[in-house]
Amino acid sequence: MTNQTFEQLKKTYESGRTRPLAWRRAQLNALRRLVTENRDAFVSSAMADLGKPAAETVFMELNLVAGEAQFVRNRLSLWTARHPKAMHWMLQPAAGWTIAEPKGVVLIISPWNYPVLLALEPMADALAAGNAVCLKPSELSPNTSKLLAELVPQYLDSEAVRVVEGGPKETGELLKCPFNHIFYTGGGHVGKIVMRAAAEHLTPVTLELGGKSPCFVDRTADINVAARRIAWGKFTNAGQTCVAPDYVLATPDVAEALAERIAVAITEFYGEDPKASPDFGRIINDRHFERLCKLLPVGTVPPEEPSSPLVQVASAVGAAMDMVGRRFNAVTTGRGGAGEMAGSANNAAKPTAGSNMAARPCRRAGSNWAAADDGATASAAVEPSEIHKVPGVFDLAGRIVCGGKVDRAARYIAPTVLYGTSPDAPVMKEEIFGPILPILVVEDAESAIRFINKRSRPLAAYVFSRDHEVRLTFERQTSSGALGYSLPLGHLLSSRLPFGGVGASGIGTYHGKAGFLTFSHVKTVVTKPQFPDTLRLVYPPFNEAKAKLFDIIAKFS
């Protein structure tokens, strides 16, 4: 079945059906109607799959797809036109230009966490480039997958766009076909499988993966604004966002206040009981839920089976020690309440960044192969030398500032903030991809940069600092798919900005023109009149006069 689908799409593409701009514009218009006219159906499917709030589905998925389709449609004439290029003077008279041509038949393998956005947004770019498209939605979001399979043939050219549902078997069969481009969003493990399969046919790939996206906060930041934006970026979609802040590195003078303020922001967003909030989603499946539970402090999550009296006693003792440690920490550090700390933090002097800093050396969503990849991306262990040990915090995961509550039956994990997390904690060993936010205490920006650079390059990094030198140092001395100043997720929302990873966090970019070029082959075209034949000067046989001419040419080249 999958091979038949590929052959049909190949036949359609080779017929030339997808190349005319009129066809491309018609498909983009239809794609826009698909999401706008079926808003309620998509909202319902996302709610059934992820418990996703309606407003979140509309804002973070449907509107972005519609906007992308409109954005690329309006610029097709410009992007498909000839782009003149200067020619070497020795070749004159001559002219050169580039044109973008479609690659052929494209395979898009989409994830479950944003099942509409990450299926249809790259599709918009592929259609704009003039390709035939095969879409493989995630089987982990079955309701949205079924809806896409029903709606796509009703709106788009069914001879040029196909949806293939199924699980690992169907995905594996598709990867055997000689597609002209494969676009995969998911975890690194399956990303490697996709790349190996693509190598068999020398098929180019775009891999949108993930990783542990850091967020740095120092005393120059507005703590209240930082707390709200971090909370929004982290807990949207119950933390199941590839570019969500995965952990926070905060300086000692602001770390605890920030943790408390994020807790306040969570209450502002979701109320005293986030489980009852219509604005907070759920974990995608039981496996993902259990993985996240293991990242919480020991004794936080009750076992599925009644524990022995000894285990119960141990958990109680651990909780008591943590409470004692919290009080001990407050006394030894001489800190006041969260409000007092936040007030003083905003007015404190800038950190020691300075001009000397620049001179010093200083991630996905679950895949279609559920058994192989659940969206967590492993990260290499690092030395904890850059991180402060917080007195009185006994669990490696840190102290729970808020959250920590779970409900297995509902696959609910409360928005959880951990303070004083150790780099050796399980929560720091892999991409979290859930509503758990660890806060680590780091001496300064330089220490944060060294810590970040010891780990795999992330899909995104965020910096909350008003110090220009700190910002500049992060920009120059860290590598990430994107860098956001005081704004998580911002680049995800704009068709004008390329979106993609670097290193283990991904290969290639898309969005807007970047997406159009991803699904295009940029072909070089040159032309030179046959008369006069000025190239006679460089034809063999070669002599001393021509050698001197070549020397002159080299001086002016």
The span from the CA of 208 to the CA of 530, in Å, is: 47
The span from the CA of 363 to the CA of 377, in Å, is: 7
Token pair of 79, please?
Answer: 């992007």
Q: Which residue has the tokens 């076909």?
A: 177
174 with 196: CB under 8 angstroms?
no
- β-pair type (83-85, 95-102): antiparallel
C-beta atoms surrounding 196 within 10 Å: 10
The span from the CA of 201 to the CA of 175, in Å, is: 10
The span from the CA of 418 to the CA of 390, in Å, is: 12
412 with 275: CB under 8 angstroms?
yes
382 with 408: CB under 8 angstroms?
no
Q: DSSP for 459-507?
A: S-EEEE---HHHHHHHHHH---S-EEES-TTGGGG-TTS-EE--GGGEE
By CB neighbour count within 10 A (0-12 exposed, 13-18 middle, 19+ buried), where does 4 fall? exposed
Token pair of 147, please?
Answer: 């809806």
The span from the CA of 546 to the CA of 553, in Å, is: 10
Token pair of 265, please?
Answer: 């922001």
The span from the CA of 357 to the CA of 78, in Å, is: 43
- β-pair type (205-208, 506-507): antiparallel
Q: Which of 61, 139, 208, 256 is catalytic?
A: 208
Q: Which of 215, 242, 293, 402 is catalytic?
A: 242
Q: Is 177 a catalytic residue?
A: no
Q: Report the alpha-carbon angle 54-365-482, nearest 5.
A: 95
Which residue intervals of 58-111 are DSSP H helices? 63-74, 76-80
Helix axes 21-37, 63-74, angle to 10 degrees: 160
Q: DSSP for 243-261?
A: TS--EEEE-TTTHHHHHHH
The span from the CA of 433 to the CA of 443, in Å, is: 26
| 3-class SS of residue 222 | coil
- β-pair type (412-413, 406-407): antiparallel
CA distances from 493 to 59, 77, 220, 371, 481 (A): 9, 24, 26, 31, 15
The span from the CA of 313 to the CA of 299, in Å, is: 10
Q: Is 475 a catalytic residue?
A: no
65: nearest Cα among 144, 165, 181, 164: 144
Active site residues: 208, 242
